[in-house]
Structure 1
Amino acid sequence: MASSTISSKLLCVICNKGKGSFKCEGCSQMFCPKHSNDHRNELSKQLEEIVITHDLMQQTLIQQIEDPQQHPLLKKINQWERKAITKIRKAAEEARNKLLITTTEHTTNIKQKLKNLSNELRQGQEDNDFIETDLQQWTQKLEELEKELHNPTTVAILEDSTPLITKILIAYHDTYDVFERVCGNAQIKENGCLIVKDGSTDQAEIRGKNEYNIGRHKFSFQIEQLTSNEWIFFGIISKSEPMRAYSFSSGSSYGWSNQGEIYIGVTGQNTYPTLTQHRSLTISL
């Protein structure tokens, strides 16, 4: 009978003994008094590790707030800048070396031509044997040599159409947006998360708070109430377009209506699923 009672007890998961065992509510395992203390100490160590991780993260956050230049993404930009500068300097050095070789040959050629002209001038002075046409020829040669010295015709600096470095861009993907501006008979409620249109048939335009110029963005929304004879349009538009009730017809508008239409500027095409009441939708732009 005693043996049956002992075997029915829940035993310690560590030492397999049942005396004084109790259940941990966190992991649902049984421990004897000794190993329950060990288990509690292990939990305390885990908590200490979490606190250390928290403190390190808080320290990193404070450092980024106090010194934004230490942000990891800014470091990536700095790295891109260093690589770009290295590429530019390397390309410039290669171009300089090639140009020096070419200009050395060019100046050597001009030097020889100038030497020949010097001999002609000296000979003319010594012999006192020259006329107007000689002076004109020597003057013309000097002008040509000077022009060739400062603006050589045998070499030119050109820029390759292939970009040496790629332009760095910032793609901001946080598409949490709220409604901010209204034109027409509508109201913004619940901190910009809800639009309520009055019962009139007049058109209204509502715009969000954020602006987007690059990247792909997703927007999720739900139409709570929309009768069959009502019309709604969801899309994007240039921020330079003034707000007006019929903004869907603007040249920069792009979006979808509940009539199954895609609007590109002022035209509509029936090729998109309809926006219906109580339907949750996610649109990518």
Structure 2
Amino acid sequence: NIDSHPLMKQISDWEKESIVKIQQKARELRQELIQKHTIHLGKLSKTLQDLSDQLKLGREHDSFVEVDIGNWKKSLNGLKENLALNSILRINQDCGTPLVQNVSVNSIENDEVFDRVFDNSARIEENGLAVIHTNNVGYTDVRGRNEYSTGCHRICLSIQQSSDTWLFLGIKAKSRPLQEISYSSKSTYGWSSNNYSWLNGQAKANQLSARIEMKTNDTIILIFDCDNRKISMTNERTAVKFDLVVDLNDCPFPWQLHVILHEANSHVRILS
């Protein structure tokens, strides 16, 4: 029954939270309108009193002149116009941050496979599901087949073999060529198992207490959120999640899965 699906509950929760936010904002706006209306009437009352005092003073001293009468008529007409509240107040619709966060339903199914390697220091096996380094140490660039430009995508990777000294997982722009030292490319974004994150080809030491780990038998979940220009990595064993915001000037769409093997016999497999 689709009505009992957990995602249906998430949608219902979002609906309730959105209604509460809208009702709260409406109450705040009504209160603000009442306050501004009160202030507005107070100002009009003072202006009317000042005008009345001027008329009284002119009558007592018999000092009316045509200019005074003209000015008083203008003042009275202005007061008449300002009595209408909508002549001075407007409802402003902010085009910036929305009151209610927009949500959508995205498919995160993935048919990713490894498609290209930089050189023969790595080989692709199992119809593209696995990539294996030779028994020599050296960097090599590996790319996935799929292209990511919209939506949110999930890739599940199994670390079949790694000494946890240097392995990179992340993204790279399709337009950038395969290369040996691909971690230094400006379009490289992701994480390496020596506890560094990489943004536009620059290494940044991990500041969290939890390490970035990619050990043998670990399962790593990569999320490519194109709509929000973010990527994330979660190690299921440690349950630690890391996030990066991607600068499209450095790493333009479409993105591709980017793996850099370095350790001898390191082996990564795509699970889903």
Normalising to structure 2: TM-score of the pair? Answer: 0.46
Structure number with the bigger relative contact order (C-alpha 8 A, sep ≥ 6) is 2
Which has a greater percent of helix? 1
- Computing the radius of gyration from Cα coordinates, the structure with the larger value is 1
